[in-house]
Structure 1
C-alpha cells in the first residue's frame, strides 16, 4: 500500500498544511474511521448523507497520521497534521492516479451491466495460481472504491484487477483516467440504469468507455453473444477478442452441463478443444 511523507503528498495534491509537520509519514489511506488503521491518512469525504469532517477528531483518536480536509476544522489540537485541499475526493483520486503510474504491471478493468463481481473474483482466482494479484475488495467499484483499490498496490503485486461501475456517461472514463487499465473485460450490456441514460445505446456508450480507454497493444474482451459488442469493438485501439456460446466467439464454451459439484463444459480456442470443470453452479 501507499507510503508517503506529507511533504510529498502536498506536492501531488497542491494542498496546504494548516497544522502539524511536513515530515510526518503515513502508510495507507482511509475514508471511514470505523476501519482506520493507525498510521493511515484520513480523507474527510463529503456526500449527500455524510460528512467526514465530523469525524476528524475521531480519526486522530484512532491513530490517523494526518487528516485531509476541504474546510476548516474547529476544536482540533494544532499538533495534529491537517492538510486542506480544494476537494478531498479529487485529492484522493489524484493520489491514486499518481500511485498507480508507479507500477508497470497489467491492470485489468472489468465492467458490464451484470456479472462484474463474479467475473472479477473468478479471474483473480485463476491468476492467483501463478501471480500475486491485487483486486477490488467486495464491490469497491466507484469513484471512491477504485482509488482505494489502487492505493493498496504494493511492489510484490504482478497484476491488478479492478471492477468499475457507473451511473451515467463519463463515469467509467473518469475511473479509467485514474486506473489506466491495460486490458478491459465488458461482461454485457443490459437495461440497468436505463432510467438514467435513456437508451440502450447510451448504456453501451457508457460501458464502452472502458474499451475506449485501452491503449494500442492492450486487449479488450467482449461478449460475443451481446449485440452491442460490435458497436464497442470499433471504438478501441486495443486488440479485441470475443467470448461466448455462439460459433462466432473466439473463446467458446459449449456442451455445458451442471452437476452436483459444479459445471463441466468444452472450451474451444483457436484449433483446440479442452474439457473444463468449474466448482461453481451456473
Structure 2
C-alpha cells in the first residue's frame, strides 16, 4: 500500500478524530471481521454491528479505526488506537477506495469467465513480470471480499495489475469493478455455473456482463468470438475498444493449424496480416483460447507479440488443471480436480478424445455443485456426452453425479459404469483396472478434499 497520512484521511472523509493522534501514517487498510488484521499501522473499517476485540487491535497498534459507531461505544480505548468517526461508514469506505485507486494511473486488467480465468490471468502475469512490476490476485482466490486487500497491494512501484473476478451471485462483478476500475476487461468463456446465485442461465450471462459496464471510459473489452453465450452480451452501450479472439473469421486474434504437441499445444496466431507460430504449455483447444486472450491483452499493453510469445513458452500450468501424471501400474492420470462445471468437463473430455485414442479410457466424475434447480438437467447432459464417446469405464461419485451414469446407460453407453455414493466407497477397487494402456481422467468439485486425495492415491 502507498502510505497515507492519517490527517489526510480525516480530511478526505470529513470525519472527526474523537480519540488518538492523527500525526502518523497508515500502511495497510482492511475491513474489520472480513480481513485478517496482521499488520501494524493499519486502517480498519468498523461497522456499527461489529464487536471489537480491543486487545487484539492494541497488539497490532498503532491502528486507525474508521467507524460510524456512537461515541459511547468507542471511548476509553487503548492509546495505540485512533478513532475517526464518520457519518456513513459505507460512503466513507467507497470514498476511500475511489481516492486510493485514483492515485495510480496504471493499466488494470480484470478477467472473468466460467473457465480459464485463472490460467489467463497467470499467463498475463508470467509474461509481464519479466520486465514489469505486477500486482495480481493469488491463484483462484477471487472472492469479492479479497478485492480490497488486492487493491491495497498496489503501491508506487506497481506498473500493472491483473485480477480475476469471482462470481457467486449477481452483483459480484459490479462490486469488484467499482474497486479495481479496470482499463482492460476479459471474458474467457461463458458456460454454466453458479445458477443458484444467478437464477438461471440468462441471469448468469447478465452477471458476467457486469464487467462490460465496469471498464473505465475508453477502455478495452476482450471477448471470445467462438463462444455461443458471449454472443448474447449486450454491448450497445460500450463505447471502448472491443477485441475478439478465437478460431472464427471475425476474430482479430485468430488461431489456426491447432495441433497437440509434447506438453502443450502448437498453433498459428494470425493478427492483421501477420502470422506467428505459438506454443502454449497445457493440453486442449481451450488452452489455445486462454493463450489468445492473454496475448490480446499483452498486445494491448504495448508488449511486442514476438516477446510475449517467447515468454509464453515458459509458462507452467497450474496444478490439478488437466495435470498429466504417471499413475500406478504404469497408467496415466489426468488430474483435473481444480474445478468442476459442465464447460470444464466438456473441455477435459475433448482432450481425452485426442490423447486417449487406442487407450483404455477411464473417466471418474464427481458432483457438480451450484447448478440450482438445473442440477439434474446438466448432469444428464454430461451423461449424453459420455454416451457418445469410446470410454472403457465410467465411475461417478456422489448423488448428483449418479445422474451422469444413469443418462449414459440410458443412451446406450458401452462403458463399464460404476456408481458410488462417496469417494471412500471406491477405495482401491480400481487398481486392477490400471495398466500401461490406462488413461484416467478424474474431475470433482474444488471443495472435495476426498476427490483430491483420491486423485493423489492414483498417482505413482
TM-score for both structures, normalised by structure 1: 0.84
2:176 corresponds in structure 1 to 175
1:219 is displaced (CA, Å) by 1.0
CA–CA separation in structure 1 for the residues paired with 2:185 and 2:120 = 12
Indicate how the Cα distance of structure 1 residues 111 and 89 shifts in structure 2: closer, same or farther if over 3 A, else same.
Answer: farther
- Are 2:97 and 1:99 aligned? no
Q: Is the 8 A contact 2:109 2:162 kept in 1?
A: yes
1:280 is displaced (CA, Å) by 3.4
Indicate how the Cα distance of structure 1 residues 15 and 175 shifts in structure 2: closer, same or farther if over 3 A, else same.
Answer: farther
1:216 is displaced (CA, Å) by 4.7
Indicate how the Cα distance of structure 1 residues 258 and 43 shifts in structure 2: closer, same or farther if over 3 A, else same.
Answer: farther
Deviations 1:86-110 (A, max 9, x none): 6656644432221111211111121
CA–CA separation in structure 2 for the residues paired with 1:20 and 1:98 = 24
Q: Is the 8 A contact 2:74 2:83 kept in 1?
A: no
Q: Is the 8 A contact 1:97 1:147 kept in 2?
A: no
1:229 corresponds in structure 2 to 230
* Structure ID, larger Rg: 2
1:242 is displaced (CA, Å) by 1.0
Indicate how the Cα distance of structure 1 residues 85 and 163 shifts in structure 2: closer, same or farther if over 3 A, else same.
Answer: farther
**Equivalent position SS for 1:268:** strand
- More deviation in 212-221 or 98-107? 212-221
Indicate how the Cα distance of structure 1 residues 5 and 34 shifts in structure 2: closer, same or farther if over 3 A, else same.
Answer: same
1:222 is displaced (CA, Å) by 0.5
- Are 2:195 and 1:197 aligned? no
2:282 corresponds in structure 1 to 280
**Equivalent position SS for 2:12:** helix
1:7 corresponds in structure 2 to 7
Deviations 1:64-91 (A, max 9, x none): 4323345435773245212344665664
**Equivalent position SS for 1:184:** strand
Deviations 1:18-44 (A, max 9, x none): 320122211122457856122222344
Q: Counterparts of 1:146-225 in structure 2 under 5 Å?
A: 146-225=147-226
Q: Which of 1 and 2 has higher RCO (CA within 8 Å, sep 6+)?
A: 1
**Could you say which structure has the higher helix fraction?**
2
1:130 corresponds in structure 2 to 131
Q: Counterparts of 1:220-259 in structure 2 under 5 Å?
A: 220-232=221-233, 233-259=235-261
| Structure 1 alignment gaps of length 5 or more | none
| Structure 2 alignment gaps of length 5 or more | 285-460
Q: Is the 8 A contact 2:29 2:43 kept in 1?
A: yes
- Are 2:38 and 1:19 aligned? no
Q: Is the 8 A contact 1:4 1:27 kept in 2?
A: yes
CA–CA separation in structure 2 for the residues paired with 1:121 and 1:56 = 39
TM-score for both structures, normalised by structure 2: 0.54
- More deviation in 190-199 or 227-236? 227-236
User: How many correspondences in the alignment?
Assistant: 278
Q: Is the 8 A contact 2:224 2:244 kept in 1?
A: yes
Q: Is the 8 A contact 2:191 2:229 kept in 1?
A: no
CA–CA separation in structure 1 for the residues paired with 2:282 and 2:88 = 43
Q: Is the 8 A contact 1:262 1:281 kept in 2?
A: yes
Indicate how the Cα distance of structure 1 residues 142 and 194 shifts in structure 2: closer, same or farther if over 3 A, else same.
Answer: same
Deviations 1:46-77 (A, max 9, x none): 9xxxx864434213203343233454357732
RMSD, aligned α-carbons: 2.8
